[in-house]
């Protein structure tokens, strides 16, 4: 407050007529913002220490997550709690369903199939992602699941959820939330012959931590930081997915491939930004080898992994970069190499898919998920192609997709696309050189060639 009021009242008076006033103000504003962020983090950390037991984080479509805990867990002195429960505002019920099994591949697959089943269970309900965890031991205690919002209180929903609990009683936990005179109660159900209410606790909304648990769990569940992490997930998956076994056999687990003397240039961007067009032209102009990730040798299993849960799907794409790196290393001994998508695609799409809501929920700049894995061949230059949404729509239409279906897709995914592009821009070491690819093919090529000449020995 002191800093803000200083900025608002004292500075204008002191600096009136001074030419550097806007710059001073901007610096002060940025400094204030960073201090406020630090304060919020400290306050959140303090809040976390007060809540020692089960916490729940609910993903929100546009804002940061909503957090709640059992009232008994919150010390009487703690501030930041509230009975306000946005989901039960118009009456109705809410339910939470969490996967309790600790085996990560099995848990991830069960969560995916439950998500599908819940969404189709009763028309009109809303299903949002939920995490249940103990703040002091996030990774050890994490359970993923859903909050099911039933504002119209459908009679058959509770029965269907109980059916789901009966079928998966060892692997899931079901709770129901109701509001009575301004207080919200959680009932926990268990199968004991019949489905019975085991206990009932009051729940309260609390402040959440910064960064959110959705950000904290990205690494290891969707963004991988080493080949070993990827292999470990694929080996576990091989027990239930035969293609994972075949994929593992394609990976040469020898030494990390070393880049040759010629430059390696990666072209990245959202779909229809012109990557294929540009990479083909660069291939001709630079007499380069053109490669892509996933490479042809493993692309036949792509569909299988695309249909899998994030943990497994992203492991496939992460591995595809390590497989492509072997070809890139060899090719760069004889010519420049152009790569159509590589690690930045894998990380940016994974982050944007896993983080709900808007861009503000993305991990902060310099977060570990934006760093290049140490054991993956590093390109000399990464170029990110960007075009406006209108131009992208135009190009996709011209490419021949169904207009209405495509338009719907595009509208629904506007936030997602913004998040992918912002995640690309935050990648580090190497970061992306951004090119406006809205210009003509010739202009984009010319611009790219001049950037390549500036960055690479060509
Ligand atoms: N600079 C440009 N100006 C106008 N049209 C372009 C330009 N570059 C590419 N296009 C056209 O836009 C469409 C998409 O281009 P392209 O297939 O190269 O994109 P992409 O990024 O490789 O897409 P995807 O990732 O979906 O494979 C194609 O029809 C292509 O001919
Ligand atoms: N190295 C790569 C390449 C692709 N992906 C993922 C990211 C998107 O989900 C999808 C886009 O591919 P396209 O439709 O352009 O063929 O594939 C990745 O994660 N890593």
Q: Where are the domains of the chain?
A: 55-215, 219-455
**Ligand 1 atom at minimal distance to the Cα of residue 278:** 18
CA of 269 relative to ligand 2 center, distance in Å: 10
* pLDDT computed for residue 37 by the predictor: 53
Say yes or no: CB of residue 435 within 6 Å of ligand 1: no
* pLDDT computed for residue 2 by the predictor: 39
CA of 272 relative to ligand 1 center, distance in Å: 5
CB 206 within 8 A of CB 79: no
CB 394 within 8 A of CB 323: no
Among protein residues, the one whose CA lies closest to atom 1 of ligand 2: 342
* pLDDT computed for residue 6 by the predictor: 40
d(CA 305, CA 315): 9
Say yes or no: CB of residue 321 within 6 Å of ligand 2: yes
CA of 345 relative to ligand 2 center, distance in Å: 6
Looking at residues 360-388, what average pLDDT do you find?
97
The whole-angstrom distance between residue 144's C-alpha and the CA centroid of its chain comes to: 15
Which is higher by pLDDT, 337 or 81? 337
CB 48 within 8 A of CB 135: yes
Distances (CA, A) of 131 to 36, 57, 221, 224: 27, 5, 13, 20
Query: Which residues, in sequence order, are CB contacts of 65 under 8 Å at separation 6+?
Result: 57, 58, 59, 208, 212, 213, 214, 356, 357, 361
With cut-offs at 50, 70 and 90, classify the pLDDT of residue 252: confident
* pLDDT computed for residue 22 by the predictor: 54
DSSP per position, 349-387: HHHHHHS-SSGGGSPPTT-GGGBPPTTSPPPSEEEEEE-
Say yes or no: CB of residue 271 within 6 Å of ligand 1: yes
**Computed over its alpha carbons, how large is the radius of gyration of the chain?**
25
Say yes or no: CB of residue 269 within 6 Å of ligand 1: yes
Mutate to test the pocket of ligand 2, among 266, 272, 274, 317 (most ligand atoms within 8 A of CB): 317
Say yes or no: CB of residue 341 within 6 Å of ligand 2: yes
Q: Helix, strand, coil: what percent of the chain each, to 5? A: 50, 20, 30
Tokens 């809040």 sit on residue? 47
Q: Does domain 219-455 have CATH number 3.40.50.300?
A: yes
Among protein residues, the one whose CA lies closest to atom 15 of ligand 1: 274
d(CA 352, CA 399): 25
Q: Which of 75-84, 97-106, 393-402 has the lowest mean pLDDT?
A: 75-84
Looking at residues 214-234, what average pLDDT do you find?
95
* pLDDT computed for residue 402 by the predictor: 57
- Is the pTM higher than 0.95? no
CA of 370 relative to ligand 1 center, distance in Å: 26
Looking at residues 3-15, what average pLDDT do you find?
45
Q: Which ligand is nearest to the CA of 278?
A: 1
Among protein residues, the one whose CA lies closest to atom 15 of ligand 2: 271
CB 436 within 8 A of CB 386: yes
CB 177 within 8 A of CB 22: no
Which is higher by pLDDT, 344 or 63? 344
Cis peptide before 430 (omega within 30 of 0): yes
Which is higher by pLDDT, 45 or 294? 294
Query: What pLDDT digit, counting tens, does each position of 119-133 carry?
Result: 999 998 999 999 999
* pLDDT computed for residue 154 by the predictor: 87
Q: Which of 73-82, 139-148, 199-208, 344-353 has the lowest mean pLDDT?
A: 73-82
Q: Which ligand is nearest to the CA of 388?
A: 1
Say yes or no: CB of residue 273 within 6 Å of ligand 1: yes
Q: Which two tokens stand for residue 414?
A: 């506007």
d(CA 419, CA 413): 10
* pLDDT computed for residue 409 by the predictor: 54
Say yes or no: CB of residue 342 within 6 Å of ligand 2: yes
With cut-offs at 50, 70 and 90, classify the pLDDT of residue 339: very high
Q: Is the pLDDT reported for residue 198 higher than 70? A: yes
* pLDDT computed for residue 404 by the predictor: 52
DSSP per position, 153-221: --HHHHHHHHHHHHHTTTTEEEEEEEEETTEEEEEEEEEESEEEEEEEEEEEEEPPPSS-HHHHTSBTT
Q: Which ipTM score applies to this complex? A: 0.99
Share of the chain above pLDDT 70, in %: 84
Average per-residue pLDDT for the chain = 87
Beta bridge partners of 192: 194
* pLDDT computed for residue 426 by the predictor: 98
* pLDDT computed for residue 225 by the predictor: 95
* pLDDT computed for residue 297 by the predictor: 94
Q: What are the φ and ψ backbone dihedral angles of 223, each rounded to 5 degrees?
A: -110, 125
* pLDDT computed for residue 429 by the predictor: 96
With cut-offs at 50, 70 and 90, classify the pLDDT of residue 90: low
* pLDDT computed for residue 330 by the predictor: 96
* pLDDT computed for residue 47 by the predictor: 45
């Amino acid at each position: 407050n002191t800093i803000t009021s200083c900025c608002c009242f004292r500075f204008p008076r002191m600096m009136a007529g001074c030419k550097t006033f806007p710059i001073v103000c901007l610096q002060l504003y940025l400094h204030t913002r960073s201090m406020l962020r630090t304060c919020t983090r400290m306050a959140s950390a303090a809040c976390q220490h007060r809540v020692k037991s089960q916490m729940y984080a609910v993903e929100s479509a546009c804002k940061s997550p909503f957090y709640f805990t059992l009232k008994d867990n919150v010390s009487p002195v703690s501030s930041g709690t509230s009975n306000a429960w946005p989901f039960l505002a118009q009456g109705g019920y809410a339910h939470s369903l969490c996967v309790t099994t600790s085996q990560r591949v099995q848990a991830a697959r069960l969560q995916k199939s439950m998500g599908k089943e819940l969404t189709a269970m009763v028309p009109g309900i809303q299903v949002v992602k939920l995490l249940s965890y103990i703040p002091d031991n996030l990774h050890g205690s994490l359970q993923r699941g859903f909050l099911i919002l039933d504002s119209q209180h459908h009679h058959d929903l509770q029965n269907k959820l109980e059916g789901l609990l009966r079928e998966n009683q060892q692997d899931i936990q079901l709770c129901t939330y109701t509001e009575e005179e301004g207080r919200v109660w959680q009932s926990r159900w268990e199968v004991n012959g019949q489905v019975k209410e085991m206990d009932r606790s009051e729940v309260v909304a609390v402040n959440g931590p910064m960064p959110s648990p959705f950000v904290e769990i990205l690494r290891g569940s969707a963004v991988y930081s080493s080949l070993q992490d990827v292999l470990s997930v694929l080996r576990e998956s091989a027990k239930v997915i035969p293609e994972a076994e075949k994929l593992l056999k394609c990976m040469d687990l020898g030494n990390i491939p070393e880049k040759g003397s010629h430059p390696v240039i990666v072209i990245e961007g959202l779909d229809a930004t012109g990557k294929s067009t540009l990479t083909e032209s660069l291939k001709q102009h630079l007499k380069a080898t053109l490669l892509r990730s996933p490479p042809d040798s493993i692309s036949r299993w792509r569909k299988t992994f695309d249909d899998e849960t994030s943990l497994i799907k992203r492991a496939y794409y992460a591995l595809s970069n390590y497989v492509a790196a072997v070809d890139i290393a060899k090719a760069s001994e004889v010519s420049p190499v152009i790569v159509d998508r590589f690690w930045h695609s894998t990380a940016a799409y994974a982050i944007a898919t896993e983080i709900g809501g808007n861009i503000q929920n993305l991990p902060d700049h310099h977060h570990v998920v934006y760093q290049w894995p140490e054991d993956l061949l590093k390109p000399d230059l990464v170029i990110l192609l960007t075009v406006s949404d209108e131009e992208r729509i135009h190009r996709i239409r011209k490419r021949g997709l169904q207009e209405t279906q495509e338009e719907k897709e595009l509208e629904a995914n506007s936030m997602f696309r913004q998040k992918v592009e912002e995640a690309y821009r935050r990648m580090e070491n190497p970061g992306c050189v951004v090119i406006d690819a809205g210009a003509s093919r010739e202009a984009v090529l010319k611009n790219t060639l001049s950037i390549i000449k500036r960055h690479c020995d060509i």
